[in-house]
Amino acid sequence: MRSLFFYQTKLIFLCTTIFSLTINFSSYPSKDVPQHIYETPIIRYVGPWLFHLPKAHIIIVRDDELRTLTDPDKEINISLTPQPQITTLRKICEDAQKRGVRTLIIAFDHFFSQYRPGQDTPRTLTPDTDEYIQLMSQISKFTEQYGIGLELSFLTPLELRTEFTKQTGESGQWMQFVKDIRDPETGAYSVNLFKHKQWANNKGSINLELAEVKVFAFNEQRFGNQYRAVLPQTITEISETAQIEEYSGINVKRGDFLATKIRVYGKGAVEKTKGDKILVVLIYKTPEMDYFSENAFPFLKSLCDKYLEAGIKLHGLYSDEIHIQQDWAYHSHHERGQFNLRYVSPGFQKVFAQKYGNEYSNLAPYMLYFVQGQDIFIEDLSAHQPVQHIIYPGLEGILRTALFRARYYRLLQNGVADLFVSAKKYLEGKIGHQLEARAHATWAESPTCDYWNRNTCEKFWNYAYEYTPEFIWSNTVHQASSACYDYFKWGEFLTGNGNDHPEGGFLDRNYFGLALACSTGNINEYYNSYCAHWGMPPEISNRRQALCDVFGANPWLPFAMVEDFRHRVSDVLILYPLDLVAVDERFGSWMIQYGYADYITSEKLLELGEFENGKCKIKDREYKTIVALFEPFPPAGLLEKLQTFVDTGGNLIWSGPPSYLNFDGERIIDKWSEIFGINVEINQSLGCSASGKEIEFLNDLSHLPPMPILTNFPVDYIYPITPLEPARPIAKCKDKIVGSVKQIDNGGGKAIYLGFRPRDNQCGSLGKETRWLFDILCSFNAYTPSGKFQDYNDNPEYLTRNSKYVMTRFPNGAIAIAPHLKDLEEDWEGGFARDPERDKRIIERLNLPPNTIELNETKIWGHTITYVGTRAVAFRVDSSYNLIAFAGSNSKEITIDGKNYVFSETPLNFVGWAPVPEERKVANGAIMTAIASGSGTLSIPMTHFNFDNYTTYTEGSIPGTIGETIPSEFNSSEKILKITLTPSA
């Protein structure tokens, strides 16, 4: 939910000339409008380096606090913890000016009302109101006196509430759906459900208006135990019979969520239908935009113009949790065990019908195909089963119903994202530079906020890493219904992108969140995404930040310097299972939590992927292995590209269900089967339950132990096949073949099908490590060595899985290492604000292992390393294998490829240095930066530099400026720069 980063460092600049000081806020060429860079005569901040510029922030939790800020000398509490922090706008600006801050964040965040008085009623001062803009204009005029621009949360769906309705007469619209029974002879029905009255999220609470009640009658045909077939044309509306009774004494209040029990009842209309089932749909108007209205984009453009006309100096768009209106309670506003709400505005229905057929112009009856597990009224034990409804019997009906749901989620997600991307580009075009929007889309993550039966679970977080019978529900359907389940799509709006998977005390011990951060950052213009964490003692937070440093996921500045602020390299690309929630809403964003790969959606792969010579290239990343975990509806054209990938030498591993249809609804099973050289065993459902059975491995995988299947969930279904020559079997379940490999002739790669979920859980949360996916990948040479050492795999991802250290490599050749954090079980409370004394007791109880790194001629990606230190280390060498960049703690030397580099006589608390990358250089500016903590003399190898005159400075109080001169000496024969460390350095 919350991402806050605090870094405090003292940089050392090595410069080759003396200069006068002038700071420029200039532009840097970009594909649309230029970046808003920060440049001094020393150095340039561009791209992700901008993330290390300090910002001031004011988080408000009440309307009146915004009015308070218009008086710069009026006191206000801006604390984000229970300890008050009383200040004034003037003091904030004065302090910011001293620190060279150019941006002040002002945003409303209801999350922090837990630490200071907030407001329970809906806000009246939202960013779309004229009064808000006038107040912000006053604040902006004051902050401009200090050279400060604003980062505001106004171009985000949650903030735009009443004004769109006032101007257009349109609003958001949600449908709530419940299924029940009806007497076919009298038409009588009576349905109890909750009427929602108030939702809340990080932008405060909103009131809902029940605008309409629709009722539909139908008959259904049982298709197996899991499905009920209902032809859409047989669903009959009988809304004229509906009456409502409200039970004023039956109310629900969970946090800010308010609801009242009602009864929708009626009888008659038997002449229209003898349907014995009923679907009740409550239609709510919500204070938000109809994002699919023709008036939506003009409204946003007009809003942007108002901010500019008011003279508000914008530096950024605060965009934390950029989704549409919903209640943020994870598990406490459901109906009959299901999240039974969908955004279905008039504009959405119109666009959906234009895209997929006129029959969808009224989507209310189609809410039936979202109903799952509501048959509590029937006479047998299937009452508690996750029964779904399909548009007609058979596998085709199952698939086309799931495709309907996939199209709903995708259109909602893409339509909202595209709208706000367009508005952002419009605003940036008017301003003349890009506006930083550093945040992530969701307010909840999967698996972090999924739901398990935790009552009998010891250390319940252990169950968050694998599907077991304790798993009940994923929050992904909540996110998908709120237009924020696709991190990759929202990366078109967000600067750098990010996620909060390790929030609330969750540690992400399989490194899935870290891998996701690398994946979303790789395709972003600012090429660095974060995986933020909170809700743990500082000592554990520091160790987890070390993992961020070695993954390159918003690393600490010294590691960013060594790694050029890029993400670690992976050899494997996995398709993010976006459509899993459409097949079964209980499941969502993960099949396996796996950290040794990059991820991408099939949609983005088709958009960005280039396939040639057995490689998939996405921007500057290359992959020779692609893995699909659950891809029922690949986009049209993707199979053809994957065929080219395999034919020219790439390896394709496809697990989960075969692809019968593409996203356009075209039949592709024959083409899909041809790629793998198999016949699919067609049955009347999408897969077979095999709970309690084992996967046995054959031929190429015969060295692997059998894999138990833990559940009867759809994620654990098996898909029997028959391999056709030249494909051969590699896995079976009892008497069924469920895996095959096909070698492509003439230098081609391999097409591998796994008709099961290859489990993988490196942290061993259920008692021992499982590693079937990793071992399968290794069996097909996914993690290839550098080739430097004979008969030894020095690939960092391979080594990481087989050692006590995390090891990574980077596009610039850097290597980074940190101790694993996979074996530390979460056993602490997960609050945001921490109690130091309580955390101290937690650390004492945990008895953490030493946070040390001890390498003795360890071979990593073409290098042999000897090193002793703590926390994390990173280094980079040039083409002649000379050390040119380093970052490490409690160390004094490192030996790389037989060359020993001693940088201090005694271990330094911390030391880091790196040459300034080309995109950061300015004429006659800094050529190297360093950070050190300790005393004595720091010796930095400088074989890659040639200069006669130089000066060494500390960084001033303002980023990128010079402070005091530091005593230093350059030994031209040894090419070593010696810097005398002082307390200020």
CB atoms within 10 A of CB 725: 7
Q: What is the per-residue pLDDT across 37-89, written as a single tens digit (0 to 9) for each?
A: 999 999 999 999 999 999 999 999 999 999 999 999 999 999 999 999 999 99
> What's the mean pLDDT in 948-966?
89
Comparison of pLDDT for 673 and 28, the residue scoring more: 673
| Separation between Cα atoms, residue 479 and residue 443, nearest integer Å | 8
Q: In this predicted structure, what is the pLDDT of residue 983?
A: 59
Whole-angstrom Cα distance, residue 547 to residue 553?
Answer: 8
For the chain, domains (ranges, CATH) are 168-291+325-385 (no CATH), 572-779 (3.40.50.880)
pLDDT in tens, 739-760: 999 999 988 999 999 999 999 9
Q: Which residue has the higher pLDDT, 590 or 935?
A: 590
Of 817-821, 890-894, 924-928, the one with minimum mean pLDDT is: 924-928
Residue whose C-alpha is closest to residue 659's, from 690, 638, 684: 638
Place 295 in a pLDDT band, splitting at 50, 70 and 90.
very high
Q: Give pLDDT tens digits for 372-383.
A: 999 999 888 888
Predicted confidence (pLDDT) at residue 251 exceeds the cutoff of 90: yes
Q: How much helix, strand and coil, in percent to the nearest 5, is found in the chain?
A: 25, 30, 45
Share of the chain above pLDDT 70, in %: 97
Q: How many CB atoms lie within 10 A of CB 169?
A: 9
pLDDT of residue 684: 75
What's the start-to-end Cα distance of the chain, in Å? Answer: 36
What is the arithmetic mean of pLDDT over 225-241? 97
Whole-number pLDDT of residue 588: 85
Instruction: Give me the pLDDT at residue 10, please.
Output: 55
Residue 520: pLDDT band by 50, 70, 90 thresholds?
very high
Q: Would you say residue 24 has pLDDT above 90?
A: no
Nearest Cα to 545, choosing from 1, 96, 4?
A: 4
In this prediction, residues 718-747 reach a mean pLDDT of 97
CA angle 626, 569, 848 (to 5 degrees): 110
25-29, 556-560, 890-894: which range is least confident on average?
25-29
CA distance 927 to 1: 39
Amino acid code (one letter) for 980:
T
AA identity, residue 478: H
Name 318's bridge partners.
Answer: none
Average pLDDT over residues 434-461: 90
The model's pTM: 0.96
Are 448 and 589 in contact, with CB atoms under 8 Å apart?
A: no
pLDDT at 679: 96
CA 163, CA 314: separation in Å to the nearest integer?
Answer: 21
Query: What is the CB neighbour count within 10 angstroms for residue 386?
Result: 18
**More confident of the two residues 924 and 29:** 924
pLDDT band at 26 (very low <50, low <70, confident <90, very high): very low
Instruction: Kindly report, residue by residue over 407-426, the tens digit of the pLDDT.
Output: 999 999 999 999 999 999 99
Of 266, 269, 265, which is closest to residue 247 (Cα–Cα)?
Answer: 265
Q: What is the pLDDT of residue 456?
A: 73
* Sheet with 615-618, side-by-side order of all strands: 609-612, 615-618, 621-623
Residue 973 pLDDT grade (very low, low, confident, very high; cuts 50, 70, 90): confident
Examine the pLDDT at 34 and tell me if it is beyond 60: yes
pLDDT tens-place string over residues 762-818: 999 999 999 999 999 999 999 999 999 999 999 999 999 999 999 999 999 999 999
Short-list 179, 209, 405, 384, CA closest to 288? 209
Question: What confidence tier does 16 reach under pLDDT thresholds 50, 70, 90?
Answer: low
